[in-house]
Structure 1
């Protein structure tokens, strides 16, 4: 009898506990208008959410008692509200003060837990979709370059931009998609980022070593591209249709996105298509070999429960992109094309017909890149602690077709399979310390298929790293730091290359094949790295703060740096690696001062970065100083290793006078110097070897923008803006063996207008953007444009060398809500 009574007693107690769970909901507004995408967090717990399109939010299953709600978001002063819950529904509305500063925004990249920008000592920048939409962008990385000082890109035409952070790029910049590291043969000069630009709603950029959280390849920093997560009323199907046209290369882009919420489930779907013919400028005309065609698909499903959430997503990327090589007729400077394999003379090729320059058709010499991604990210809550798990698989398939006599035969054909894992446990707070322990890494397998060129061997790679990170707030001071240990193994077996009897091209063969030669002897090596960081933020006041951080980064050599020995047909480069290379280590010091004044935001960031075992490319020359030609029509680069130092600054001054709320005047400056500290080269070659390659010049950007504060007819808050981008001469370049040459400075003037169109009842019809880049059609060459060096004559008939960047480009974009 006692047992049933005890059971019933416990049952009713548990029912009472369940009944006492409270609900908190409300609406977030600013200036009497609802505000979406505001972060709402319950302090002392791991529960957070965002306001929807109507400004509404809701928490369920909250234990009764006292708690604090914190509201924060880009452009708004954070607000803290203390409430008492009694087991029913509590209504908490919040009206936020509008600000021009983004210091109260919450970031998730490189900090392990959601953290306000003002509390993180690590330099982090945020770029919203709104900012990206208001600029002319030919790809996602270009949008980030325009919006974040200190970020640049090495380009190969309009569809390939490789991000650089403070003068460092390639495998030193880790790119993430929704927190999952992007793996797609990023060692190649012309290998871009395989992501749908229309599917990204936010980008977070860590400027500085982030090896503590991510391990190898985050030596320079991290770019996290975050896709859309729906947050609106239950039971609704919403979406958008984007159409974009750009005049310079006739780029036509369209994207359809859909989202649905039912109960605790959120679903998304997006399909995108882009196509463009060759781009043009007033020096070269239409640049042969720069057309592209791109398709993207993505879908996700997420469920949020009181125990946490889980999200599963899949993406598909498919890109057909031509391969420019810059060959021309010596007198007319018209572009020529390759029609022979054996016997090809790059200076005596036929001229490209006009009909093939202005066409959307992809020519036979092109790249075909496909990327598949499937991943799951989950959070499991345990009281005041939580476990975050991210597991994903991805496949990158790259084919580069470079045989005009056999167009269906790929020169390069590699398949990279990657399995990623990332586990982080956020421990309960202890003595005010928020701690995280984690382990992450990846397994990779790369295989060549039916190819003729083999710049790298088939290899296997395994990464694992463990870290501890902690942060603590002590009044006006926020301190954070941690330590990490990494191990990477990379190995491959003997790789033989022979000659195909039918085609005469190269092919992978077995060791006993009579035509076979050992191109890649077997290799097996472990690389170890110890990294960490320590930083603090001193909040002198709500309007003035100082940040300081010191971090040690680690990067194991990538596959081309230690294993390459062959032609990459897409880059037109023969790579020669060095298997004795050691890992790179760097020590970077950052200090920043940020002031939020009545009518201005001012930010000054200084950095100094010393790198041990820095790896870079240099053209290979013979004893007489002449370029070594292993494959005719292609350059030969040998990897080098030495010490290096980079230092510089980023300054932003953004004016937003309260007396003229319609006006904003934003200015930024970025400057970096890269010094080669290879003493042997310096003693032998002097200034020619003094600087590092791919270092951007001094850059200054300024923008004046006027935005109507009230609707003008159907136009809701229309704006007009004009901006100027100034790039100084780059006379600090790696001149040894003519690897780089002097680059003249230039100034580009851009402009744009845009607005939301709404009905009288306030329903959004669409958003429109009309923009112009390089309004005055300036002929210029960026020192980070690889096409600048696509030249095969010592002199030219017009005194010009290489290929110039894009000329005037008009863009029209419309986004229609569904």
Structure 2
């Protein structure tokens, strides 16, 4: 594969978009003007700073002091618009844009948060209440009010979402009990491709750059193909600012527990359709601490990222060139301690030494550590073709993961995965025809992995897959029907797996092909009650580790063998949900049942003479396992309730409960439950929101939260795979506000939060550090999660309006 070819393709598409813009000024550019006014529905007063945004063409603006807004050079046609402002209920509807269109909007004060939102992760933009499956959205403002150590930890507050963590810097999303290659992450239209098959690999996205996150719970194979059987995390970073304006932000965050220091800056502009955004961030953190372990040696990390986009929006559509560079160095916590319970570190020449205060306070990871670099460049294009729209997205990603573990030769790379991926998406959105919204799409990727380190856990390989689908939606009065079908094929060319100059795994070629589909409905039973029902078939091709691994994995007691004969995982999932939104109560209940015919997990191997098969690696006897397939089911429910007791409309009492159960049809050595299923969880938050405290303090909030995680005793105890985890309750709190000048312009925002105020020592059931070695001084197994932590976030915005 010519590695420079994707960059040339991306450059060509971006140049084509620019040329298309030039052509758009003549034959293609059917300009539309859309203007109006946004007011308060009760007082009739104009609302300043309300956001007016067209999601499908990525064009937005905000209202002036008189509540007026105006768009010029809009594509003619039917578009979905969102009119919103903090403290008000959003208005989301379709509007027909002609050469001169005027429409005013009156917003009601927001009493309930569960308003209709635009969903961009389902092929075409629509409203969440019209999708037949469950979707959660987290905005930048909500992220700013959390004190998580990474973005995935922040998302875990949403129903049905958990994290599989390896310390504070590495977390993987878990949706309804499924993770790894079963959850797909999308970033600005590009599927994120790193090393998502491993426990110790994160998602390589800068948290500070994120504007919005959409979480699709349930099979999304119809739109995205393999690896989306559990759902999709759709992360949006680059959103154009309003026309003829320049905006910037300076952001900082300090966390007391691990002395984490974050700095981020960005500047964005939009001048006559030419728009851009540039950002950069730097994060450094020392070792975190808790009541039982003290400071956890080598949990430190440092991160340096930059990225952005540049492009043009016109009446013909838009063309954007996106890029990002993620750079993380993070320690690998081994949890080794001496007989007195002090953490130890390896030293040159052999032996160990007790970690010192200087070691704990350093932000430079010590051996063993990993260095992850992820570069991405992509072009995102949306062209007007008559009344239809053509979307083209092509991306190139270069992921490099290096692991350093030799204290005598710190530069030696024990592992070095060099992964290069081209992703592509072409989608044609047809114009509405008698209420039908239909899309045709083709997407897939081409991938190459090369081992450059001393060891090989997975072989070198080349991968190519492609899939095509049709998706349609029809609204008949208060009933919305949607569904579609898709077929995918994936081809693998796997090289020999090497141990030095000796092959320990044979080369092979494999092909996987399968179809996906879904059908569902969203029914607005009343103005306040909504019912959702969906049935979907998804599939996942086996990953390279599952097919071809041969070796011991960091932090485990297993020696794992892949199985080249594995079949694709096939899932059939049924979802149902009920949503109630009244003036003072918001309630939702959703349940799911997911049946797998070929669920992949590992089983213990037996020796020829009976008993367990073991291998000696580095002086340690490791039990041998091989990936296998079993029939399995996952089921569960999610419940949310937000109460606003009248007349205290400023008061919110919000409860979120998530539960999932995973079972094997045929028990393995007596174990009937699937491994690593998150524990049931209930989060209760009491919050006060106040729009205006004084002329200088707006949007003030104060909250207290009880995070209750129940015991998880339904475990896969076979082969000592996992152990039960007791329940725990941690208390969190937060306060914050926007500070404005006499003209109402925001000067800065300040958010202060405290997590685990009671300094509870706990272990999350999905924490890999739970299985670190025993502390001989206390008898406790593993390393515990972070203790009490306070976070202070400061954001300073700048805005400059350019006269037209």
Q: Please confirm whether the aligned pair reaches a TM-score higher than 0.5, indicating the same fold.
A: yes
Q: Alignment partner for residue 221 of structure 1, among 208, 214, 231?
A: 231
Q: How far 1:246 sits from its partner (Å)?
A: 0.3
Counterpart for residue 198 of structure 1? 208
1:189/1:571 contact within 8 Å kept: no
| Distance (whole Å) between structure 1 residues aligned to residue 627 and residue 225 of structure 2 | 23
| Distance (whole Å) between structure 1 residues aligned to residue 166 and residue 57 of structure 2 | 44
Corresponding residue SS for 1:195: coil
1:300-340 Cα offsets, whole Å, 9 max, x none, are: 012111111111111000011111111111x3111112336
Counterpart for residue 277 of structure 1? 286
| Distance (whole Å) between structure 2 residues aligned to residue 456 and residue 16 of structure 1 | 54
2:383/2:390 contact within 8 Å kept: yes
Counterpart for residue 522 of structure 1? 507
2:709/2:729 contact within 8 Å kept: yes
1:300/1:314 contact within 8 Å kept: yes
Counterpart for residue 666 of structure 1? 654
| Distance (whole Å) between structure 1 residues aligned to residue 776 and residue 330 of structure 2 | 28
| Distance (whole Å) between structure 1 residues aligned to residue 760 and residue 299 of structure 2 | 20
Counterpart for residue 629 of structure 2? 641
Q: Alignment partner for residue 717 of structure 1, among 655, 680, 699?
A: 699
Matches within 5 A, 1:206-245: 206-234=216-244, 236-245=245-254
Counterpart for residue 479 of structure 1? 481
| Distance (whole Å) between structure 2 residues aligned to residue 58 and residue 48 of structure 1 | 15
| Distance (whole Å) between structure 2 residues aligned to residue 69 and residue 163 of structure 1 | 30
Counterpart for residue 48 of structure 2? 34
- The answer as to 2:255 corresponding to 1:246 is yes
Corresponding residue SS for 1:677: strand
Q: Alignment partner for residue 89 of structure 2, among 73, 76, 85?
A: 76
Q: Alignment partner for residue 678 of structure 1, among 645, 656, 666?
A: 666
Q: How far 1:26 sits from its partner (Å)?
A: 2.9
Counterpart for residue 492 of structure 2? 490
- The answer as to 2:725 corresponding to 1:754 is no
Distance 1:119 1:225, change over 3 A: same
- The answer as to 2:378 corresponding to 1:403 is no
Counterpart for residue 808 of structure 1? 788
1:132-155 Cα offsets, whole Å, 9 max, x none, are: 111111001011112x11100110
Q: Alignment partner for residue 383 of structure 2, among 369, 380, 385?
A: 380
Higher-Rg structure is: 1
Corresponding residue SS for 2:156: helix
Counterpart for residue 4 of structure 1? none
Corresponding residue SS for 1:700: strand
Q: Alignment partner for residue 583 of structure 2, among 582, 598, 602?
A: 598
Counterpart for residue 513 of structure 1? none
Q: How far 1:399 sits from its partner (Å)?
A: 0.3
1:676-717 Cα offsets, whole Å, 9 max, x none, are: 2235x2xxx22xx11111101110001011122323352213
Counterpart for residue 511 of structure 1? none
- The answer as to 2:358 corresponding to 1:336 is no
2:218/2:229 contact within 8 Å kept: yes
Distance 1:79 1:725, change over 3 A: closer
- The answer as to 2:150 corresponding to 1:165 is no
1:476-501 Cα offsets, whole Å, 9 max, x none, are: 11000000111001112334332xxx
2:188/2:237 contact within 8 Å kept: yes
| Distance (whole Å) between structure 2 residues aligned to residue 630 and residue 280 of structure 1 | 32
1:283-312 Cα offsets, whole Å, 9 max, x none, are: 001111210000110020121111111111
| Distance (whole Å) between structure 1 residues aligned to residue 231 and residue 516 of structure 2 | 13
Q: Structure 1 length normalisation: TM-score?
A: 0.89
Q: Alignment partner for residue 129 of structure 1, among 122, 129, 140?
A: 140
Matches within 5 A, 1:8-87: 23-30=33-40, 32=45, 33-40=47-54, 49-52=59-62, 54=64, 57-60=69-72, 71-73=82-84, 76-78=89-91
2:29/2:314 contact within 8 Å kept: no
| Distance (whole Å) between structure 2 residues aligned to residue 802 and residue 309 of structure 1 | 52
- The answer as to 2:791 corresponding to 1:797 is no
| Distance (whole Å) between structure 2 residues aligned to residue 96 and residue 58 of structure 1 | 18
Counterpart for residue 460 of structure 2? 458
Which runs of 5 or more structure 2 residues have no equivalent in the other structure? 1-23, 799-804
Corresponding residue SS for 1:118: helix
Q: Alignment partner for residue 641 of structure 2, among 653, 656, 660?
A: 653
Corresponding residue SS for 2:366: coil
Distance 1:437 1:67, change over 3 A: closer
Q: How far 1:632 sits from its partner (Å)?
A: 4.7
| Distance (whole Å) between structure 2 residues aligned to residue 633 and residue 767 of structure 1 | 54
Distance 1:574 1:323, change over 3 A: farther
Q: How far 1:590 sits from its partner (Å)?
A: 0.2
Aligned CA RMSD, in angstroms, stands at 2.7
Which runs of 5 or more structure 1 residues have no equivalent in the other structure? 1-13, 499-515
| Distance (whole Å) between structure 1 residues aligned to residue 172 and residue 53 of structure 2 | 32
Distance 1:296 1:619, change over 3 A: farther
Q: Using CA pairs below 8 Å that are at least 6 residues apart, which structure has the higher relative contact order?
A: 2
Corresponding residue SS for 2:617: coil
Distance 1:618 1:719, change over 3 A: farther
| Distance (whole Å) between structure 2 residues aligned to residue 423 and residue 40 of structure 1 | 21
Corresponding residue SS for 1:318: strand
| Distance (whole Å) between structure 2 residues aligned to residue 84 and residue 517 of structure 1 | 66
Corresponding residue SS for 1:409: coil
Distance 1:634 1:366, change over 3 A: farther
